[in-house]
Chain A
Amino acid sequence: MDADQKDQITASQTFMIVSKSMIGTGIIVLPRGISQEVGTPDGWISVVLSGLLAMLAGYMIVKLSQRFPGQTIYQYSQRVAGKLLGKALAIFLSLYYIIGSGYSLRFMGEVIHMYLLDKTPIEVIMIVFLSLGTYLTVGGINPIARLTELFLPLVIIFLLVLIIFSLKDVELVNIRPVLGEGMTPVLKGIKPSIFSFAGFEIMLIFTALMKEPRKAMKTVLGGIALVIPLYTLVVVIAIATLTVDEVKTLTWPTMSVAMNIELPGGFFERYESLFSVLWVISMYTSFVLYQYAGSLGLGQIFRKKHRAFTYASLPVIYLVAMFPSDLNSVFAVGDFLGKTVLFITAIMVPCLWVIAKLRRIGLENG
């Protein structure tokens, strides 16, 4: 339809995008959310379980998208659910992405404000970041995919470095007993942890941009499978070094884990500042994916190029980011987004799939 459709990404790029879209805000706060809900050191089991659930949802998403090759959800939702409802769903989804990017923008701003630039106004931190994101987003999916290819290995490496250097503070006593109070607390932990897997639903859009849509299933399952051990390790390390009771009370538990690290030779002190700097790279890539998904959606709904909407959505993203008055309301927005993801993956996608199947729209065996 428009120029954006010509851009295509390879299977390995899609794999990295799926992984990268999930590693963002979650990694910083996940241990707290999970410990508060679970209360026992078994939070990591919830992470694994919800990862498996995310894979199931990913399976549904790809199945649905493969019925409509070359079309994003913004386009096929109108074919499946009728003109009005379809359009409403598409607008809802783009709004979700715009609010999501506003949330990650504010989240990033808060962390930088807290750990690096306590005197710089958060507005400046955010506007600079937003402008830099726009520079990449207007270029379309291909530069985004290539940047993800460069940055995902970096992000994984510094997460692994964080994990390896905190190993010496690990006390296994803190994560025992395993399943001491049975499965009930573990199941309670699924809700907060599935929020942190949010991001893979981006495949509703990116399946259409793939060069080989056949491989979509492999990429989404692989992408989620890459993130599960990372998240599990982060939660285990956080609980094992800080104990459950402490993690519950910390705002940024992963940062606190980083704070305890001492590099051999004392070359760098305050590893958490360094970690927050490197984590900006991670935030940048996931922010750009959200921003692109949102503006591409608006572009496809109104049949224009996504560029115009990238610029037009900037003030909206900024207003969303500035809306929460304090840190608690920021996390409230995060909870709200988590519920939205739950709605999208657990209700919207299966419904659309069933309708498409009943109305025999799209490829039957897709």
Chain B
Amino acid sequence: MLYKVMAYLIKPDIWLGAFFSFAFPFGVSRVFHWLERGSRGNSRWLGINPKEKAQKSFIKQEISQPSSIPFTAELNHNLQAMKEIIGHNSDVLFRQFKAGPLKWNAAVVYVDGLVDKMALVEQVIKPLMQDQGILNPQNINVNALNNSIMDSVVCCAEVKEVLSLDDCVHEVLSGNAALFMEGTANVFILGLTEGKERAIEEPLTEAVVRGPRDGFVENLRSSTVLLRRRIKDPGFTIINYTVGRRSRTNLSLMYIRGLTNPELVKEVQERVERIDIDVILESGEIEQLIEDNVLSPFPQAQNTERPDRVVSALMQGRVVLMTDGTPFALIVPVTFNILMTSPEDYYERWLPASLIRILRTGAAFIALFLPALYIALISYNHGLIPAKLVISIAAGREGVPFPSIIEALIMEVTLELLREAGLRLPKPIGQAVGIVGGLVIGQAAVQAAIVSPIMVIVVALTAISSFAFPQYGAGIAVRILRFAMMISAAVLGLYGIILFYILITVHLVKLKSFGVYYMSPFTPLLPKDWKDSFIRLPTRILKRRPEMNKAQDRTRQ
């Protein structure tokens, strides 16, 4: 026995294999660790590393020098300070005037175009200039006058006082008007914002047959209005944040107090507060800054333009983030199951809704597996295909000079190109590209014997299936994985497919989105949540909220 072991151990090829069996997994894990660390630490703009907090305050000072200098009682001095910071802009207007019979010096500062000028004149300047009753020489006390201006003269709905220059500049640049009065260090901020905004339209990316037709717009306030109209619960909470050092973008965090798990809210708040970046243009940037796993192909936050979807998410005990300047709201946490649902599933009766969900799951499998199965069956395991089908496939592939993986890659890449090109072009041209690509190239490729007809069927079926995803992000993940799956099928056949499937499952099992496992309710096992998973049971049976979100108020009906 010992002799056998010794004889075995001196073979060099054994040790080569042993080396690879160690080096391959270990090397891969090192590379991924390095990538993950790199994506966290190296960028100065992603202030996740606590060490960089010191640097952050330094940069902040550089941008707006006198950070919180208080105003003085002298009007000219205050205006001069404002002018130093924002006076060089041609769109910032300083309007000086004298108020009432007192001839009291006053000034409004605002950004042209952001402020409703009519309202400014009617509600602020006119009452101040023409006032006869209050601003008369009898009440000479400055403080008393100061209060009575807001109480009785200026008739604008939203007024607040700020004391520091920094805040004042921020408010003016956000589209409010600032009112300065001689002899007081308080500045009044008048909420007279008026922005040109897009009308509320049906969202293009999430069309439904049955369901509300309104979608969010770029203006944050108009979008939250759509939600307020749907939820009259006083527990519906909107917390505002300002993110982006230079853009100072408004970001709203929404949840329902008394329903949403407070720990989830806290977790989201912490992650949002950690964001430290110069500009936020879209909620997708927020998503990438707060997600759990940067290297995962799967989206870890749901995005939507539909208010009804957001409301239903809030009612499930999830947290919503909305950013000014984009109609896309972010919903966290998200699970694999949620990515496969559409709001329509709940509006239709349960039977058609369940069947459509099963259809969608089937489509997901086709979109992921079909080209890979084709490759594996053609190049390794043709024994599995029934004999008659083998003959017709072989007849179709006659004259095709490429191995099946090249054939499949040609067609799949062409398809992705067509899709991408069609997306960027104006609508009528995009359709023309689709026709040219789909019909002409497909037909011509078959006639030129570059691909086989069955490959065209496979690609077409895959493409149609991948459009069946109700969420664009999930569709992209499957598109990426499909190519990886095709390559593993080309290398190891059916065995490669099953290993890659296990790999995806292991990844999904490890993945978490804001403390919720991505594969719940299937694992960890939450059988009560299965009522609303692959199938959707009748609404009367769905009496409780999903358990995975650990909502405080569990019952719905």
B18 at the interface (CB under 8 A from A): yes
B28 in contact with A131 (CB, 8 Å): yes
Interchain nearest-CB distance for A314 vs B (Å) = 5
Given contacts A120-B492, A128-B492, A273-B494, contact A147 B383 (CB under 8 A): no
* Chain B residues with CB below 8 A from A277, complex form: 494-495, 497-498
A: contact size bracket: 35 or more
Point out the residues of chain A lying under 8 angstroms from B14, CB to CB: 319, 322
B510 touching A131 by the CB < 8 A rule? no
Q: How far is the CB of B493 from chain A (nearest CB, A)?
A: 6
Does B10 lie at the interface of the complex (its beta carbon under 8 Å from any beta carbon of A)? no
Q: Mark B372-405, 1 if CB is under 8 A from A, else 0.
A: 0000000011011111000000000000000000
Note all chain A residues with C-beta closer than 8 A to B28: 131
Say if the beta carbon of B58 comes within 8 Å of chain A.
Answer: no
**Do the beta carbons of A268 and B17 come within 8 Å of each other?**
no
Type the 1/0 row for B11-53, where 1 means its CB is closer than 8 Å to any CB of A. Answer: 0001001111110111011000000000000000000000000
Instruction: Specify which chain A residues have a CB less than 8 angstroms from the CB of B523 in the assembled complex.
Output: 146-147, 149-150
- The CA of A147 and the CA of B507, in the complex, are separated in Å by 10
Query: Within 8 Å CB of A139, what residues of B?
Result: 506, 510
Residue on B nearest A12 in the bound complex, by CB: B525
* Residue of B387, B494, B522, B525 most packed against chain A (CB within 10 A): B494
Say yes or no: A146 contacts B498, CB within 8 Å: no
Q: Mark B487-519, 1 if CB is under 8 A from A, else 0.
A: 000001111011100110110011000000101
B499 to chain A: which residues have CB within 8 Å?
128-129, 132, 280
Closest residue on chain A to residue B13 by CB atoms: A123
* Cβ-defined contact, A269 with B495, below 8 A: no
Contact with B along A202-238 (1 / 0, CB 8 A): 0000000000000000000000000000000000000
How far is the CB of B479 from the nearest CB of chain A, in Å?
23
| CB contact list, A93-117 vs B, under 8 A | 112, 116-117
Pairwise interchain contact B519-A150, C-beta atoms closer than 8 A: yes
Closest chain B residue, CB of each to CB of A131: B25
Q: Are B509 and A150 in contact (CB under 8 A)?
A: yes
- Given the complex of chains A and B, what is the CA–CA distance between A323 and B17 in angstroms? 12
**Across-interface contacts of B384 in A (CB, < 8 A):** 268-270, 273-274
Q: Are B18 and A315 closer than 8 Å at their CB atoms?
A: yes
The answer on a CB contact under 8 Å between B19 and A315 is: yes
Contacts of A266 in B (CB 8 A): 386
Return chain A residues, CB-CB under 8 Å to B66. none
Give residues of chain B (501-557) contacting chain A, Cβ–Cβ below 8 Å.
Answer: 502-503, 505-506, 509-510, 517, 519, 522-525
Q: A146-B524, A270-B383 are in contact. Are A135 and B506 (CB under 8 A)?
A: yes
Within the assembled complex, what's the spacing in Å between the Cα atoms of A12 and B527?
Answer: 12
Within 8 A of A (CB), among B436-486: none
Pair B26/A311 contact, Cβ less than 8 Å: yes
Distance of B464 from chain A, by nearest CB (Å): 21
Q: Is A249 interfacial (CB-CB < 8 Å)? A: no
A269 touches B383 (CB 8 A): yes
CB distance from B284 to the nearest CB of A (A): 28
Complex CA gap A280/B499 in Å reads: 8
Q: Would you call B506 and A132 a contact (CB within 8 A)?
A: yes
Nearest neighbor of B496 in chain A, beta-carbon distance: A128
**A147→B506 contact, CB < 8 A:** yes
Nearest neighbor of B517 in chain A, beta-carbon distance: A146
Residues B359-382 near A (CB distance < 8 A): 380-381
Q: Does A82 touch B at the CB level, under 8 Å?
A: no
Enumerate chain B residues within 8 angstroms of A147, measured Cβ to Cβ.
505-506, 509, 523
Q: Does A55 contact B (CB under 8 A)?
A: no
Contact A319 B509 (CB under 8 A): no
Cβ A116 vs Cβ B21 within 8 A:
no
- CB-CB under 8 A from A239, the residues of chain B are none
**Contact at A322–B17, with CB atoms within 8 Å?**
yes
- With A123-B17, A319-B18 in contact, is A146–B519 under 8 Å at CB? yes
Q: Would you give 21 A-B contacts (Cβ < 8 Å), ordered by A? A: A10-B524, A116-B381, A116-B493, A123-B17, A126-B21, A127-B24, A130-B25, A132-B503, A134-B29, A149-B522, A150-B505, A150-B509, A150-B523, A269-B385, A269-B387, A277-B498, A280-B498, A311-B29, A315-B21, A318-B18, A322-B14
Name B's A-contacting residues (CB within 8 A): 5, 8-9, 14, 17-22, 24-26, 28-29, 380-381, 383-387, 492-495, 497-499, 502-503, 505-506, 509-510, 517, 519, 522-525
